[in-house]
Chains A and B, each alone.
Chain A
Amino acid sequence: MNMKDYIGIGVLALIVAVMPFAVGNDYYLGVLVFTALNCLTCIGLCLLLGYAGQISLGHSAFVAIGAYASALLTTKLGWNPWAAMGAGIVISLVTAVLVGIPTLKLKGHYLAMATLGFASIVHVVLVAAVDITGGPSGVSGIPRLELFGLALDTDTRIFYFCWALVLVALYFAVNLIHSRVGRGLQAIHGSEDAASSLGVNITVDKIRIFALSAVFASVSGSLYSHYVLYIDPGPFDVMHSVLLITMVAVGGIHSIWGAVTGAVLLSLLPEGLSFLSEGLAQFNIQYKTDYDTLIYGAILLSIMLFLPEGLFDGIRRSFSFFSKTNTETERGQ
């Protein structure tokens, strides 16, 4: 059964609980908040990409919709942040359905191109609709979230709140995967013809999982707004979609834990690289942040070459190799 998944969620909860004590520094806690936000989006994206087999290069747009709904409704109309987040969810949901109806008929590269187009349209609107979105100068003065009268105004509190949502998202995802609906999605991935011959409504199910993943992305965007308190279109460009897909692919698209692994790893990598650059500086070797792209590329390339099922699967395999069990049920031919 899937007891392992719930144990995994428990272990992650424990790690989250002790993390602020291990990391004294607010800066690093902040990095871990962004990590949580990426995890949230990637969990939804993994359900769409890894389980239902539908690619989306448009998820930066849903993050943006959540972020801008929160920012604009709170600053311009004085809405409560929770209501604004809810509105963001509704707008993302409706947008996902409207975008999904025509695009999810496409497959593979064509679906990638169509969703990419959607992401760049949303980005262009954010930059160009200056009167509404503030254009390139963005929106500032976004209020903080408040939970039962407790302001989420320290990094520790926000850290706990965001990671709690990641745990909830994981719990939802694990339940969904092991359900009638989840198996229907995996069936669509395996063979659309066979899935529909068994009564799976492939058109509707694809749109529903696309919408669910859009909601995860939207919540992540809203949290981003209320944490950073200032947003501009910069972080929501098409490259952010590509980064999200990379996270899921690096970790391993076939497992929700792979998505989490990838999101954590690639969110922390820039910090790791700045450590490296300080280390190298002691030996008088100059490391420029431009090299980051090179290292990202090298990592992606080596994972695709040596661990095509992703990092998480690689770790799992090496463990099962040592314990010499469970090899019968390994994925793949």
Chain B
Amino acid sequence: MTDNPTRSFIVLDRLRKEFGGVVAVNDLSLNFAKGQISALIGPNGAGKTTVFNLITGFLPPTSGSITLNGVNLSGKKPHRIASMGVGRTFQNVQVFPAMTVLENVMVGRHLRSRCGMAVSCLLPQALRPEEKRIREASMVWLEAVGLKDQADRTAGSLPLGSQRMLEIARAMALEPSVLFLDEPASGLNARETAGMGDLIVKIKAMGITIILVEHDMELVMDISDNVAVVNFGSLIAEGTPKDIQANPDVINAYLGA
């Protein structure tokens, strides 16, 4: 890599994904910098979510490679990639609806706790010390996203905005080094979107790298350090929010030439 090490925390090298004859991601090479908020934008169907799914292991790439801090991620299963410090949320919110808000976040502690099936069967919850730690760590994250007083509600009964916040709390309980947010502000009203922006900036301040797919341009331009624009699976522009707003290719891609 010619870039300096902080620029190349996550490196996509000629990443390609074909669905049948359709090329969703077309030999995309892209770097995401450590400790920054990078946004991935582009028109609908540009392949943004596919890129997320390739990096987090939900889809296998057709060709190309993905590395995190020099370690190859491509071809690994989602739970393995999670264990390497990669957290994510989903475009269509995926909370565990029948579990309580607190239990949702407690699932996020899965990789930070140890008890196997045998110990779990034999010992009651009160006699497993890790349970208290899981609960406490989870409450910290519920408090950080402002859902502490909803802890005992079932997650499915929360309004959409709170479910999106819950998803972030749950992913953060994993203590990831990178957090992928797939349209975190989608379906949120203006006040909730502003709250979401504050939360994302707060998470960045903790030293966590954030990669964002988002259609709310005001939010993207507000909080991102770096913006990459893709269309038809290829990179068409990359730079600071200011550069991108002035780039004629980007305006073309959105408005149609």
Contacts and interface: CB of A to CB of B under 8 A. Distances in A.
Contacts of B173: 198
B69 interface: no
B56 to A, nearest CB: 6
Contact of A199 (B95, B111, B125): B111
Interface stretch (B24-32, B116-124, B243-251): B116-124
A200 interface: yes
B57 to A, nearest CB: 8
Contacts of A212: 117
A194 B97 CA distance: 12
A193 B157 CA distance: 20
Interface string B57-88: 01000000000000000000111001100011
B177 interface: no
Interface stretch (A86-94, A111-119, A151-159, A324-332): A324-332
A182 interface: yes
Chain A interface size range: 35 or more
Contact of B110 (A2, A200, A333): A200
A105 interface: no
Given A2-B125, A172-B121, A180-B130, A254 B98 contact: yes
B174 A190 contact: no
Nearest to A212: B117
A178 interface: yes
B125 A178 contact: yes
A323 interface: no
A200 B96 CA distance: 13
Interface in B95-128: 95-100, 103, 106-111, 113-117, 120-126, 128
A180 B171 contact: no
B18 interface: no
B99 A186 contact: yes
Interface stretch (B39-47, B148-156, B211-219): B148-156
A314 B138 CA distance: 31
Closest 10 CB pairs of A and B: A190-B96, A179-B120, A199-B111, A194-B94, A199-B82, A196-B78, A191-B94, A172-B121, A178-B125, A187-B107
Interface in A193-247: 193-202, 208, 212
A183 B130 CA distance: 14
A312 to B, nearest CB: 15
A201 B117 CA distance: 13
Contacts of B97: 190
Nearest to A202: B79
B90 interface: yes
Most A Cβ at <10 Å: residue of B125, B126, B130: B125
A179 B83 CA distance: 19
A278 to B, nearest CB: 43
A201 B121 contact: no
B170 interface: yes
Contacts of A190: 94-99
A199 B56 CA distance: 11
